[in-house]
Chain A
Amino acid sequence: MKKLLIAMALLAGAAPGAGYAQTLRIGMAAQDVGRLDPHFAVSTIDRVAVAWMFNGLVRFPPGSIDPAKIEPDLAERWESSADGKSWTFFLRRGVQFHGGFGELTADDVVFSLRRAATAASSAFSADFRAFETIEALDRYTVRIVLRENVPSLLGIVTNYSGGYIVSRRAATERAEGFARAPIGTGPFALERVTPNASAELVAHPQYFRGAPQIQRISYRFIPSDASRDLAFQNRELDINYGRADQTWVNRTRALPGVTVDVFEPGELTILNLDTTRPPFNDIRIRQALAHAVNRAEMVRWRGPDVSREGQSLVPRGYLGFTADNGLLPFDLARARALLTEAGHPNGITIRVVHTQLPEMLSGMQVIQQQLRRAGITLDLQVVEHATFHQQIRQNLSPLVYYASARFPVADIYLSQFFHGRARVGTPTAVTNFSHCDMADAQIDAARVSTNPAEQLRLWAEAQNLLVRAVCGVPVMETLLVFARRNNVDYGYPLTGSMSLGPLITEATRITP
């Protein structure tokens, strides 16, 4: 019987573990891709893939998320005016789009940035609020004029979110179809998507940095963690999306010929407290909750290799982050005393809406146990993930457990989570669940400041105000984890990736 089955395997030509030297097989924890139009690529699975297909005017060096190291990409150089409001980008010549869509010109750049700045055609239009004009000065020169200064113009036009450049002709001709047949200038082009199975990409031989060393990428959607791990173990995958979990990391590191990469950006988990409604309109209860959270224990639970303590309401490493902000330490006795002082000597029960997404639910359950020790009982209303997102934006939960990573400049995090304009339930809402607005002046002033030292001072002041008011309680930062076989060489040290997955470049290779 076994011989018969092996014969079948050979007949099928797909013996398990058979390697395809020039095809890089990547397993992703997802059921399917969403939109591969870069201006709508919001989920992790989409972001990872579009980074292989598109370029920005500038880019983070592969493996880095340090804004100070941003380097030329489609633009070979740029100039800015003394007041920082006018930026001129000089494009590389001879950059070719995928599929014979011709040479990249200033028209493509103008079209792409205007498209990304328009609410109807982009999920990232809010990032372009300060843009006044985008115009082509000639075939290879683009000028951007700003209404007001922004903390990092280069950050907006980098290879991230709305900064990706698309082919004007392809986007216009294909319209809605562009999302399933996108055309960029990156090292890999989309060949096809098999729904619920994989996206197949092929090398772009005319890529301006040189033809990629890998011929194909097979990006496989495998939602079951157990099956994906088995496939990786069975050598059916070269790269595997990992779990931010110490046990998983230890187990995977023990596999022969395998490396586990843990990299930035860290996703900061914050307990956002609605300061306008009971019970958190009483700062003593907010302080009690802050004292009851044991960050060190959370890190021990998640794993020291993949997580670290949250130190502020901005993730560490972001430009403008400060740990000197008056964050309340873990102190159960103080938490109980504050509760008593606030009129709850027998403890308090708070009804909280939370998602059933396993990773977020397990984190919340640990928090629930920590708070219980201080007399704070969380009555968790566990709902499906899309419902969670809708309900927390309808002010249905006084406490919102939220984990996210953003462009690594303090302004983005502060503006989206703690600026009065971003309060949920308002026409300009983003994700301000605490309804705090006491640092608006500092956030606004820092955004337009042209003095870097002053900017840092203002961001630090904003964090101080928000942390002392306990608008939110930072819990921990969870890093990204991917495993790879040792014969996969990314071509750079992977310490960070704004696309939330390994960047596959022209230099990436599979060694025998």
Chain B
Amino acid sequence: MIGFVARRLLTSIPTLLAVLTLVFIIVRIVPGDPAMVILGDQATPEAAAALRARLGLDAPIWLQYGRFIAAALTGNFGASMVTSRPIIDEVAAVLPHTIDLTLAAMVVGVVVGVPVGIWAALHRNGAIDVAARLLSLVGLSFPVFVSGIFLLLAFALHWRIFPVIGAAELNDIPDRLYKLVLPAITLGLVMAAYITRVTRSAMLACLSEDYIRTARAKGVPWRRVVWVHGLRNASLPIVTVVGLYVGILIGNSVLTEIVFNRPGLGKVIVGALNQRDYTMLQGLMVIYCFIIVVVNLITDLLYGVLDPRVQQA
């Protein structure tokens, strides 16, 4: 197991370096001057030049790249060009909110998506299957800024059960959980729609296999056939989708964060991009890539648990 983890981590290093280089290049190719964003529209070229020098943006590009890679390797990401707050502090302030939302959405997605997917597969082409497919299509088609606003109108304005502003103090756990409910449902339902479809198709494939027919023929109870023989074998594509989707959720939760006024990594990334905050973007991308690598590693490890042949390979 340790060898497996070490191999996976080592193979991640070139990926990380490639991503860092791409990020460095892309943020500089995009038009827009950070000095103008910081100084505003009345700034003189003299003031902009002075600021660029202070921020190190007047240095040769290779030197800027060298500084960035050296900083990334030492874990010192510096400070935001715009707010001058240390990047690591900014991330530390928002990451717990992102983790809360991602995990909660994942739980909602799995708890709703897997049973509905199995149920639909067991009633293939029946009314339940059609309803599940239709609902999952609706879930995939509904943007979160629409479903989120509907939930707010119902649960915040009409029934007044939840607040509109979803930002909670980190050390206030009950408040954190309470304010997580609506955003988690909003984001989780989209994930549930994906998982429903994947679970359904994976289960349909499994249920037509010979070993299922054999199990049924030798008298194994149907419930056991479905949950043990079927789901266990259908779980690999489901875990793959969940793993991939968690990575997407971390970055793509930005709309949910905006609608529910929650701090989060996605929102910080978009803000940094709008403000051409190079240092912040670079630091965020390093951290984001690292999270994706970790999530992929956990997914791979789960493959090994679910199917020992993967580890042996």
A residues within 8 Å of B by Cβ?
2, 5-6, 8-9, 11-14, 16-17, 31-35, 40, 42-43, 119-120, 122-126, 176-177, 179-180, 193-198, 220, 222-224, 226-228, 230-231, 233-234, 236-237, 383-387, 389-391, 393, 404, 406, 416, 427-431
Most interface-central of A34, A220, A393, A428 (chain B CB within 10 A): A34
CB interface residues, B 210-230, toward A, < 8 Å = none
| Chain B nearest CB, measured from A421 CB (Å) | 10
Name the one of A2, A14, A195, A224 contacting B258, with C-beta atoms under 8 angstroms.
Answer: A224
Q: Are B178 and A12 in contact (CB under 8 A)?
A: yes
Given contact pairs A35-B38, A123-B40, A126-B44, A16 touches B93 in the complex (Cβ within 8 A): no
Q: Are B38 and A123 in contact (CB under 8 A)?
A: yes
Q: Does B274 sit within 8 A of A, measured CB to CB?
A: yes
Q: Nearest residue in A to B33 (C-beta to C-beta)?
A: A390
Q: Does B161 sit within 8 A of A, measured CB to CB?
A: yes
Most interface-central of B42, B161, B165, B178 (chain A CB within 10 A): B165
Give bound CA distance, A126 to B43, whole Å: 8
Given contact pairs A34-B38, A120-B51, A231 touches B83 in the complex (Cβ within 8 A): no
Name the one of A14, A120, A237, A428 contacting B54, with C-beta atoms under 8 angstroms.
Answer: A120
CB interface residues, B 152-185, toward A, < 8 Å = 152-153, 156-157, 159-165, 167-168, 172, 174-175, 177-179, 181
Q: Are A234 and B156 in contact (CB under 8 A)?
A: yes
Residues of A near B133 (CB, < 8 A) are: none
Residues of B near A198 (CB, < 8 A) are: 167
Residues of B near A387 (CB, < 8 A) are: 30-32
Q: Are A196 and B263 in contact (CB under 8 A)?
A: yes
Q: Are A196 and B94 in contact (CB under 8 A)?
A: yes
Give bound CA distance, A33 to B51, whole Å: 19
Q: Are B161 and A2 in contact (CB under 8 A)?
A: yes
| Chain B nearest CB, measured from A228 CB (Å) | 8
Given contact pairs A9-B161, A227-B261, A404 touches B41 in the complex (Cβ within 8 A): yes
Q: Are B270 and A119 in contact (CB under 8 A)?
A: no
Name the one of B32, B41, B44, B160 contacting A234, with C-beta atoms under 8 angstroms.
Answer: B160
Give bound CA distance, A428 to B31, whole Å: 22
Q: Does B260 sit within 8 A of A, measured CB to CB?
A: yes
* 7 tightest A-B CB contacts, nearest first: A42-B40, A386-B32, A12-B178, A231-B164, A196-B263, A387-B31, A120-B50
Name the one of A12, A40, A233, A384 contacting B175, with C-beta atoms under 8 angstroms.
Answer: A12
Give bound CA distance, A431 to B43, whole Å: 9
Q: Are B260 and A385 in contact (CB under 8 A)?
A: no
- Band of interface residues on B: 35 or more
Given contact pairs A5-B161, A227-B164, A233-B157, A386 touches B40 in the complex (Cβ within 8 A): no
Residues of A near B153 (CB, < 8 A) are: 230
Q: Are A428 and B93 in contact (CB under 8 A)?
A: no
Name the one of B38, B53, B267 contacting A42, with C-beta atoms under 8 angstroms.
Answer: B38
Residues of A near B30 (CB, < 8 A) are: 384, 387
B residues within 8 Å of A by Cβ?
30-33, 36-47, 49-51, 53-54, 79, 82-85, 90, 93-94, 145, 149, 152-153, 156-157, 159-165, 167-168, 172, 174-175, 177-179, 181, 257-264, 267-268, 270-271, 274-276
Name the one of A8, A180, A383, A431 contacting B85, with C-beta atoms under 8 angstroms.
Answer: A180
| Chain B nearest CB, measured from A218 CB (Å) | 10
| Chain A nearest CB, measured from B258 CB (Å) | 5
Q: Are B271 and A196 in contact (CB under 8 A)?
A: yes
Q: Are A194 and B167 in contact (CB under 8 A)?
A: yes
Q: Are B45 and A386 in contact (CB under 8 A)?
A: no
Q: Are B258 and A223 in contact (CB under 8 A)?
A: yes
Q: Are B45 and A427 in contact (CB under 8 A)?
A: yes
Residues of A near B41 (CB, < 8 A) are: 42, 389, 404, 431
Give bound CA distance, A428 to B145, whole Å: 44
Give bound CA distance, A87 to B203, whole Å: 84
Give bound CA distance, A428 to B290, whole Å: 44
Q: Nearest residue in A to B277 (C-beta to C-beta)?
A: A34
Given contact pairs A5-B162, A194-B263, A224-B258, A126 touches B42 in the complex (Cβ within 8 A): yes
Give bound CA distance, A288 to B41, whole Å: 29
Contacts A177-B84, A234-B160 given; 7 further ones with Cβ under 8 A?
A: A2-B161, A16-B161, A42-B39, A124-B42, A196-B267, A230-B153, A427-B46
